[in-house]
A and B are shown apart, each in its own frame.
Chain A
Amino acid sequence: METILEVNNVIKQFGGFTALSEVNLHVNKGERLGLIGPNGSGKTTLINCISGAYTDYQGSIRFDGGDITLLKAHERTKRGIARSFQIPRPFSSMTVMENLLVPFAFVGGKDGPEQQKEAMAILQGMGLAEKAFVQSNQLSQVELRKMELARAMAAKPKLLISDEAMAGLSGTEVDEVLEILFDLNKLGITIIMIEHIMQAVMKFSQRVVCLDAGKIICEGTPEIIVKNPEVQRAYLGD
Protein backbone atom coordinates (compact mmCIF):
# COMPACT_ATOMS: atom_id res chain seq x y z
CA MET A 1 0.00 0.00 0.00
CA GLU A 2 1.19 3.50 -0.82
CA THR A 3 1.99 5.73 2.14
CA ILE A 4 0.44 9.23 2.09
CA LEU A 5 1.69 10.50 5.46
CA GLU A 6 4.92 9.79 7.30
CA VAL A 7 5.65 11.25 10.72
CA ASN A 8 9.27 10.65 11.61
CA ASN A 9 10.65 11.04 15.14
CA VAL A 10 8.50 14.05 15.94
CA ILE A 11 9.22 15.65 19.30
CA LYS A 12 7.12 18.57 20.51
CA GLN A 13 7.89 20.36 23.74
CA PHE A 14 6.05 23.12 25.59
CA GLY A 15 8.73 24.64 27.79
CA GLY A 16 10.01 21.74 29.91
CA PHE A 17 7.03 19.51 29.13
CA THR A 18 7.41 16.97 26.36
CA ALA A 19 4.03 16.56 24.69
CA LEU A 20 5.25 14.26 21.92
CA SER A 21 8.26 12.03 22.33
CA GLU A 22 9.81 10.66 19.11
CA VAL A 23 6.50 9.80 17.50
CA ASN A 24 6.64 7.75 14.31
CA LEU A 25 3.51 7.19 12.32
CA HIS A 26 2.60 6.26 8.78
CA VAL A 27 -0.78 6.43 7.13
CA ASN A 28 -1.65 4.68 3.89
CA LYS A 29 -3.55 6.23 1.00
CA GLY A 30 -7.29 5.74 1.42
CA GLU A 31 -6.90 4.37 4.94
CA ARG A 32 -9.24 5.03 7.88
CA LEU A 33 -7.02 5.47 10.89
CA GLY A 34 -8.27 5.90 14.43
CA LEU A 35 -6.10 7.85 16.86
CA ILE A 36 -6.97 7.23 20.49
CA GLY A 37 -5.50 7.91 23.88
CA PRO A 38 -6.51 9.35 27.24
CA ASN A 39 -6.84 13.10 27.77
CA GLY A 40 -3.45 14.83 27.54
CA SER A 41 -1.86 11.94 25.67
CA GLY A 42 -0.82 14.21 22.79
CA LYS A 43 -3.41 13.40 20.12
CA THR A 44 -4.34 16.99 19.32
CA THR A 45 -0.69 18.07 19.58
CA LEU A 46 0.21 15.44 16.99
CA ILE A 47 -2.62 16.63 14.75
CA ASN A 48 -1.46 20.22 15.19
CA CYS A 49 2.03 19.19 14.08
CA ILE A 50 0.64 17.37 11.03
CA SER A 51 -1.73 20.19 10.03
CA GLY A 52 0.88 22.89 10.57
CA ALA A 53 -0.70 24.69 13.52
CA TYR A 54 2.63 23.95 15.21
CA THR A 55 5.79 24.12 13.16
CA ASP A 56 8.28 24.37 16.03
CA TYR A 57 8.79 20.65 16.52
CA GLN A 58 11.74 18.37 15.96
CA GLY A 59 11.65 15.54 13.45
CA SER A 60 10.12 15.51 9.99
CA ILE A 61 6.79 15.01 8.31
CA ARG A 62 6.32 13.88 4.72
CA PHE A 63 3.02 14.08 2.90
CA ASP A 64 2.15 12.72 -0.52
CA GLY A 65 5.79 12.31 -1.46
CA GLY A 66 7.00 15.74 -0.32
CA ASP A 67 8.59 17.06 2.85
CA ILE A 68 6.13 19.39 4.62
CA THR A 69 8.07 19.82 7.88
CA LEU A 70 8.69 23.53 7.35
CA LEU A 71 5.45 24.39 5.59
CA LYS A 72 2.87 26.66 7.21
CA ALA A 73 -0.67 25.44 7.83
CA HIS A 74 -2.17 27.14 4.77
CA GLU A 75 0.52 25.64 2.54
CA ARG A 76 -0.23 22.19 3.93
CA THR A 77 -3.93 22.75 3.25
CA LYS A 78 -3.04 23.52 -0.35
CA ARG A 79 -1.04 20.26 -0.49
CA GLY A 80 -4.17 18.39 0.60
CA ILE A 81 -4.35 18.25 4.41
CA ALA A 82 -7.62 19.48 5.91
CA ARG A 83 -8.94 19.24 9.42
CA SER A 84 -11.84 19.90 11.71
CA PHE A 85 -11.40 21.23 15.24
CA GLN A 86 -12.11 19.72 18.63
CA ILE A 87 -14.01 22.89 19.57
CA PRO A 88 -15.78 24.03 16.37
CA ARG A 89 -14.34 27.21 14.91
CA PRO A 90 -16.85 28.54 12.42
CA PHE A 91 -16.32 31.86 10.69
CA SER A 92 -19.22 33.16 12.70
CA SER A 93 -19.71 36.43 10.80
CA MET A 94 -20.35 34.41 7.63
CA THR A 95 -23.13 32.17 6.40
CA VAL A 96 -22.54 28.44 6.03
CA MET A 97 -22.04 28.89 2.29
CA GLU A 98 -19.52 31.70 2.83
CA ASN A 99 -17.61 29.47 5.26
CA LEU A 100 -17.14 26.97 2.45
CA LEU A 101 -16.20 29.64 -0.05
CA VAL A 102 -13.13 30.59 2.02
CA PRO A 103 -11.21 27.40 1.14
CA PHE A 104 -12.64 27.51 -2.38
CA ALA A 105 -11.17 31.01 -2.78
CA PHE A 106 -7.81 30.45 -1.14
CA VAL A 107 -7.08 26.83 -2.09
CA GLY A 108 -8.82 26.62 -5.45
CA GLY A 109 -8.37 30.28 -6.36
CA LYS A 110 -12.01 30.82 -7.34
CA ASP A 111 -15.27 31.48 -5.49
CA GLY A 112 -17.71 32.14 -8.33
CA PRO A 113 -21.06 30.55 -9.20
CA GLU A 114 -19.44 27.20 -10.11
CA GLN A 115 -17.79 26.99 -6.72
CA GLN A 116 -21.09 27.89 -5.06
CA LYS A 117 -22.68 24.95 -6.88
CA GLU A 118 -19.87 22.69 -5.69
CA ALA A 119 -20.24 24.02 -2.16
CA MET A 120 -23.97 23.33 -2.30
CA ALA A 121 -23.28 19.75 -3.44
CA ILE A 122 -20.95 19.26 -0.46
CA LEU A 123 -23.57 20.68 1.89
CA GLN A 124 -26.20 18.40 0.40
CA GLY A 125 -23.93 15.43 1.08
CA MET A 126 -23.73 16.55 4.70
CA GLY A 127 -27.46 17.20 5.01
CA LEU A 128 -26.85 20.93 5.44
CA ALA A 129 -28.22 22.28 2.15
CA GLU A 130 -31.16 23.95 3.89
CA LYS A 131 -28.78 25.83 6.15
CA ALA A 132 -26.56 27.14 3.35
CA PHE A 133 -27.57 30.75 3.81
CA VAL A 134 -27.98 30.69 7.56
CA GLN A 135 -25.45 32.57 9.68
CA SER A 136 -23.01 29.97 10.98
CA ASN A 137 -23.30 31.18 14.58
CA GLN A 138 -26.92 30.04 14.55
CA LEU A 139 -26.16 26.38 13.91
CA SER A 140 -26.71 23.58 16.42
CA GLN A 141 -23.75 21.54 17.69
CA VAL A 142 -24.19 18.71 15.19
CA GLU A 143 -24.69 21.18 12.34
CA LEU A 144 -21.49 22.98 13.36
CA ARG A 145 -19.60 19.68 13.33
CA LYS A 146 -20.97 18.89 9.88
CA MET A 147 -20.17 22.38 8.62
CA GLU A 148 -16.57 22.01 9.78
CA LEU A 149 -16.30 18.75 7.83
CA ALA A 150 -17.93 20.43 4.83
CA ARG A 151 -15.49 23.35 5.04
CA ALA A 152 -12.60 20.92 5.22
CA MET A 153 -14.00 19.14 2.15
CA ALA A 154 -14.15 22.44 0.26
CA ALA A 155 -10.35 22.48 0.43
CA LYS A 156 -10.44 19.25 -1.65
CA PRO A 157 -8.24 17.28 0.73
CA LYS A 158 -6.38 14.05 0.21
CA LEU A 159 -6.15 13.63 3.98
CA LEU A 160 -8.92 14.69 6.34
CA ILE A 161 -8.25 14.88 10.05
CA SER A 162 -11.39 14.74 12.15
CA ASP A 163 -10.59 15.97 15.65
CA GLU A 164 -13.33 14.73 17.98
CA ALA A 165 -16.07 15.58 15.49
CA MET A 166 -18.52 13.55 17.55
CA ALA A 167 -17.87 15.08 20.96
CA GLY A 168 -21.08 16.11 22.69
CA LEU A 169 -23.37 14.50 20.10
CA SER A 170 -26.23 12.09 20.74
CA GLY A 171 -26.10 8.47 19.53
CA THR A 172 -28.12 9.22 16.39
CA GLU A 173 -25.98 12.25 15.61
CA VAL A 174 -22.80 10.21 16.07
CA ASP A 175 -24.15 7.72 13.51
CA GLU A 176 -24.90 10.58 11.10
CA VAL A 177 -21.36 11.95 11.32
CA LEU A 178 -19.90 8.44 11.03
CA GLU A 179 -21.90 7.87 7.88
CA ILE A 180 -20.56 11.13 6.45
CA LEU A 181 -16.97 10.08 7.22
CA PHE A 182 -17.54 6.67 5.61
CA ASP A 183 -18.92 8.40 2.50
CA LEU A 184 -15.90 10.72 2.31
CA ASN A 185 -13.56 7.77 2.64
CA LYS A 186 -15.37 6.06 -0.24
CA LEU A 187 -14.42 9.07 -2.36
CA GLY A 188 -10.77 8.09 -1.81
CA ILE A 189 -10.00 10.50 1.02
CA THR A 190 -7.68 9.22 3.71
CA ILE A 191 -9.13 9.91 7.15
CA ILE A 192 -7.54 10.18 10.56
CA MET A 193 -10.17 10.15 13.26
CA ILE A 194 -9.44 11.27 16.79
CA GLU A 195 -12.27 10.23 19.03
CA HIS A 196 -13.16 9.34 22.58
CA ILE A 197 -16.29 7.45 21.59
CA MET A 198 -14.74 3.99 21.35
CA GLN A 199 -17.65 2.34 19.58
CA ALA A 200 -17.35 4.89 16.78
CA VAL A 201 -13.56 4.48 16.53
CA MET A 202 -13.78 0.70 16.46
CA LYS A 203 -16.57 0.74 13.89
CA PHE A 204 -14.83 3.25 11.64
CA SER A 205 -11.11 2.46 11.79
CA GLN A 206 -9.23 -0.08 9.76
CA ARG A 207 -6.23 0.51 12.02
CA VAL A 208 -5.99 2.19 15.41
CA VAL A 209 -3.02 3.93 16.99
CA CYS A 210 -2.99 4.55 20.72
CA LEU A 211 -1.01 7.39 22.25
CA ASP A 212 -0.18 7.76 25.91
CA ALA A 213 2.00 10.46 27.51
CA GLY A 214 3.25 11.56 24.09
CA LYS A 215 4.30 8.09 22.93
CA ILE A 216 2.66 5.53 20.66
CA ILE A 217 2.06 2.58 22.92
CA CYS A 218 0.23 0.32 20.52
CA GLU A 219 -1.13 0.07 17.00
CA GLY A 220 -3.10 -2.51 15.11
CA THR A 221 -6.60 -3.51 14.10
CA PRO A 222 -9.45 -2.48 16.42
CA GLU A 223 -9.74 -6.07 17.65
CA ILE A 224 -6.06 -6.15 18.68
CA ILE A 225 -6.23 -2.70 20.28
CA VAL A 226 -9.17 -3.44 22.59
CA LYS A 227 -7.40 -6.51 23.95
CA ASN A 228 -4.03 -4.82 24.39
CA PRO A 229 -3.09 -4.63 28.10
CA GLU A 230 -1.08 -1.39 27.58
CA VAL A 231 -4.17 0.32 26.11
CA GLN A 232 -6.33 -0.98 28.93
CA ARG A 233 -3.80 0.32 31.47
CA ALA A 234 -3.63 3.75 29.75
CA TYR A 235 -7.40 4.12 29.91
CA LEU A 236 -8.24 2.32 33.15
CA GLY A 237 -5.02 2.65 35.17
CA ASP A 238 -3.08 -0.12 36.90
Chain B
Amino acid sequence: MNSFISKQFPMNTMSRRLLRMLWPLIVVPLTAPALAADAVAAPSTAAADASSGAAAPAAPAADATGTTRSLDEGIQNLKKDVVDLNKDLFVLEEELLFPANTQVAVFVSMDVGDFFALDSITLKVDNHDVSNYLYTPREVAALLKGGVQRLYVGNLKSGDHELVAFFKGKGPHERYYQRAASIHFEKGVGAKYLELKITDHERAQQPEFEIKDWE
Protein backbone atom coordinates (compact mmCIF):
# COMPACT_ATOMS: atom_id res chain seq x y z
CA MET B 1 0.00 0.00 0.00
CA ASN B 2 2.78 2.36 0.94
CA SER B 3 4.67 1.81 -2.27
CA PHE B 4 1.51 2.26 -4.34
CA ILE B 5 0.74 5.60 -2.79
CA SER B 6 4.31 6.72 -3.08
CA LYS B 7 4.25 5.97 -6.77
CA GLN B 8 1.03 7.79 -7.22
CA PHE B 9 2.14 10.86 -5.31
CA PRO B 10 5.91 11.29 -5.31
CA MET B 11 6.92 13.73 -2.61
CA ASN B 12 9.26 15.80 -4.75
CA THR B 13 6.30 17.12 -6.73
CA MET B 14 4.20 17.93 -3.70
CA SER B 15 3.96 21.63 -4.34
CA ARG B 16 2.78 21.07 -7.85
CA ARG B 17 0.23 18.57 -6.67
CA LEU B 18 -0.95 20.92 -4.00
CA LEU B 19 -1.50 23.56 -6.54
CA ARG B 20 -3.30 21.18 -8.85
CA MET B 21 -5.53 20.35 -5.95
CA LEU B 22 -6.03 23.99 -5.13
CA TRP B 23 -6.65 24.90 -8.70
CA PRO B 24 -10.43 24.51 -8.46
CA LEU B 25 -10.35 26.97 -5.61
CA ILE B 26 -8.17 29.32 -7.59
CA VAL B 27 -10.53 29.00 -10.49
CA VAL B 28 -13.34 30.46 -8.47
CA PRO B 29 -11.76 33.80 -7.67
CA LEU B 30 -9.68 34.23 -10.78
CA THR B 31 -10.77 32.38 -13.86
CA ALA B 32 -14.39 33.36 -13.59
CA PRO B 33 -14.96 37.05 -14.25
CA ALA B 34 -17.46 36.88 -11.44
CA LEU B 35 -14.99 38.63 -9.26
CA ALA B 36 -14.84 41.52 -11.60
CA ALA B 37 -18.60 41.62 -11.82
CA ASP B 38 -18.80 41.60 -8.05
CA ALA B 39 -16.40 44.43 -8.02
CA VAL B 40 -18.63 46.49 -10.20
CA ALA B 41 -21.64 45.68 -8.14
CA ALA B 42 -20.46 47.05 -4.88
CA PRO B 43 -19.65 50.69 -5.52
CA SER B 44 -22.71 51.07 -7.62
CA THR B 45 -24.77 50.78 -4.46
CA ALA B 46 -23.32 53.99 -3.26
CA ALA B 47 -23.56 55.36 -6.74
CA ALA B 48 -27.22 54.56 -6.91
CA ASP B 49 -27.84 56.24 -3.59
CA ALA B 50 -25.90 59.27 -4.55
CA SER B 51 -27.26 59.73 -8.01
CA SER B 52 -30.97 59.65 -7.39
CA GLY B 53 -31.95 56.28 -8.56
CA ALA B 54 -29.22 55.38 -10.97
CA ALA B 55 -29.25 51.63 -11.05
CA ALA B 56 -26.18 49.56 -10.43
CA PRO B 57 -24.92 46.36 -11.92
CA ALA B 58 -26.31 43.41 -10.05
CA ALA B 59 -24.91 40.09 -9.05
CA PRO B 60 -22.40 38.27 -11.21
CA ALA B 61 -23.54 36.00 -13.94
CA ALA B 62 -22.06 32.72 -14.88
CA ASP B 63 -21.36 32.07 -18.52
CA ALA B 64 -24.57 31.30 -20.30
CA THR B 65 -24.24 27.94 -21.91
CA GLY B 66 -25.78 27.07 -25.24
CA THR B 67 -28.41 24.96 -23.55
CA THR B 68 -29.55 27.61 -21.11
CA ARG B 69 -29.52 30.26 -23.83
CA SER B 70 -31.63 28.16 -26.14
CA LEU B 71 -34.02 27.39 -23.28
CA ASP B 72 -34.08 31.05 -22.32
CA GLU B 73 -34.74 32.15 -25.91
CA GLY B 74 -37.57 29.65 -26.16
CA ILE B 75 -39.06 30.85 -22.90
CA GLN B 76 -38.78 34.49 -23.99
CA ASN B 77 -40.65 33.71 -27.20
CA LEU B 78 -43.26 31.84 -25.23
CA LYS B 79 -43.66 34.74 -22.79
CA LYS B 80 -44.10 37.13 -25.70
CA ASP B 81 -46.79 34.86 -27.11
CA VAL B 82 -48.51 34.89 -23.72
CA VAL B 83 -48.36 38.70 -23.58
CA ASP B 84 -49.83 38.93 -27.09
CA LEU B 85 -52.54 36.44 -26.21
CA ASN B 86 -53.28 38.29 -22.98
CA LYS B 87 -53.69 41.50 -24.95
CA ASP B 88 -56.04 39.86 -27.46
CA LEU B 89 -58.10 38.45 -24.60
CA PHE B 90 -58.26 41.86 -22.94
CA VAL B 91 -59.39 43.43 -26.23
CA LEU B 92 -62.05 40.75 -26.72
CA GLU B 93 -63.32 41.12 -23.17
CA GLU B 94 -63.68 44.87 -23.43
CA GLU B 95 -65.23 44.83 -26.91
CA LEU B 96 -67.64 42.14 -25.87
CA LEU B 97 -68.63 43.45 -22.46
CA PHE B 98 -68.24 47.19 -22.95
CA PRO B 99 -68.83 48.08 -26.59
CA ALA B 100 -67.83 51.64 -27.46
CA ASN B 101 -71.38 52.82 -28.16
CA THR B 102 -72.50 52.04 -24.63
CA GLN B 103 -69.24 52.27 -22.69
CA VAL B 104 -68.85 54.62 -19.74
CA ALA B 105 -65.52 54.69 -17.91
CA VAL B 106 -64.76 56.57 -14.72
CA PHE B 107 -61.13 57.47 -13.99
CA VAL B 108 -59.53 58.76 -10.79
CA SER B 109 -56.56 61.10 -10.59
CA MET B 110 -54.93 62.74 -7.61
CA ASP B 111 -52.61 65.71 -7.47
CA VAL B 112 -50.32 66.55 -4.52
CA GLY B 113 -52.46 64.91 -1.82
CA ASP B 114 -51.22 67.03 1.10
CA PHE B 115 -54.71 67.73 2.38
CA PHE B 116 -56.35 64.41 1.69
CA ALA B 117 -55.33 60.77 2.16
CA LEU B 118 -57.68 58.65 0.09
CA ASP B 119 -59.27 55.59 1.69
CA SER B 120 -62.18 54.72 -0.57
CA ILE B 121 -64.46 55.92 -3.35
CA THR B 122 -68.10 54.96 -3.85
CA LEU B 123 -69.75 55.55 -7.21
CA LYS B 124 -73.43 55.87 -7.97
CA VAL B 125 -74.78 56.11 -11.49
CA ASP B 126 -78.41 57.18 -11.74
CA ASN B 127 -78.74 56.50 -8.03
CA HIS B 128 -77.49 52.92 -8.30
CA ASP B 129 -74.30 51.83 -6.54
CA VAL B 130 -71.87 50.69 -9.23
CA SER B 131 -68.53 50.67 -7.42
CA ASN B 132 -67.14 50.73 -3.91
CA TYR B 133 -63.35 50.69 -4.00
CA LEU B 134 -60.96 50.53 -1.05
CA TYR B 135 -57.44 51.74 -1.79
CA THR B 136 -54.17 50.14 -0.72
CA PRO B 137 -51.25 52.41 0.19
CA ARG B 138 -49.48 51.24 -2.95
CA GLU B 139 -52.40 52.30 -5.12
CA VAL B 140 -52.57 55.68 -3.44
CA ALA B 141 -48.85 56.09 -4.06
CA ALA B 142 -49.41 55.13 -7.70
CA LEU B 143 -52.05 57.86 -7.99
CA LEU B 144 -49.73 60.40 -6.39
CA LYS B 145 -46.96 59.51 -8.84
CA GLY B 146 -49.21 60.48 -11.71
CA GLY B 147 -51.11 57.30 -12.42
CA VAL B 148 -54.77 57.58 -13.38
CA GLN B 149 -56.92 54.68 -12.26
CA ARG B 150 -59.72 53.34 -14.42
CA LEU B 151 -62.03 52.80 -11.48
CA TYR B 152 -65.18 51.74 -13.25
CA VAL B 153 -66.19 50.56 -16.69
CA GLY B 154 -69.84 49.95 -17.47
CA ASN B 155 -72.56 50.32 -20.02
CA LEU B 156 -75.19 53.05 -20.28
CA LYS B 157 -77.76 53.75 -22.94
CA SER B 158 -77.78 57.06 -24.77
CA GLY B 159 -79.32 59.96 -22.90
CA ASP B 160 -78.94 61.95 -19.71
CA HIS B 161 -77.40 60.37 -16.63
CA GLU B 162 -76.03 61.38 -13.26
CA LEU B 163 -72.80 60.27 -11.61
CA VAL B 164 -72.24 60.83 -7.89
CA ALA B 165 -68.87 60.04 -6.30
CA PHE B 166 -68.29 59.82 -2.53
CA PHE B 167 -64.70 60.25 -1.41
CA LYS B 168 -63.64 59.00 2.03
CA GLY B 169 -60.30 59.41 3.73
CA LYS B 170 -58.29 61.58 6.07
CA GLY B 171 -58.48 65.29 5.57
CA PRO B 172 -56.52 68.14 7.10
CA HIS B 173 -55.36 67.55 10.69
CA GLU B 174 -55.82 63.79 10.29
CA ARG B 175 -59.58 64.10 10.57
CA TYR B 176 -62.03 61.72 8.95
CA TYR B 177 -63.20 63.35 5.79
CA GLN B 178 -66.05 62.56 3.43
CA ARG B 179 -67.06 64.59 0.42
CA ALA B 180 -69.22 64.06 -2.60
CA ALA B 181 -69.14 65.39 -6.13
CA SER B 182 -71.70 64.89 -8.87
CA ILE B 183 -72.16 65.53 -12.53
CA HIS B 184 -75.01 65.31 -15.02
CA PHE B 185 -73.80 64.07 -18.33
CA GLU B 186 -75.19 63.03 -21.63
CA LYS B 187 -74.23 59.68 -23.02
CA GLY B 188 -73.98 59.84 -26.79
CA VAL B 189 -73.08 57.28 -29.39
CA GLY B 190 -69.35 57.00 -28.53
CA ALA B 191 -67.65 55.93 -25.31
CA LYS B 192 -67.97 58.38 -22.41
CA TYR B 193 -65.00 59.10 -20.12
CA LEU B 194 -65.35 60.90 -16.80
CA GLU B 195 -62.46 61.84 -14.53
CA LEU B 196 -62.71 62.24 -10.76
CA LYS B 197 -60.04 64.77 -9.87
CA ILE B 198 -58.73 65.14 -6.35
CA THR B 199 -56.57 68.21 -5.94
CA ASP B 200 -55.23 70.39 -3.16
CA HIS B 201 -56.63 73.87 -2.77
CA GLU B 202 -53.64 75.71 -1.37
CA ARG B 203 -55.43 78.88 -0.30
CA ALA B 204 -58.27 77.11 1.45
CA GLN B 205 -55.93 74.45 2.82
CA GLN B 206 -58.53 71.92 1.80
CA PRO B 207 -58.83 69.18 -0.79
CA GLU B 208 -60.97 69.76 -3.84
CA PHE B 209 -63.06 67.20 -5.67
CA GLU B 210 -64.38 67.70 -9.13
CA ILE B 211 -65.60 65.59 -12.00
CA LYS B 212 -64.45 66.33 -15.50
CA ASP B 213 -66.40 65.24 -18.54
CA TRP B 214 -63.92 64.27 -21.28
CA GLU B 215 -65.77 65.07 -24.48
Q: Do A and B interact with each other, yes or no?
A: no
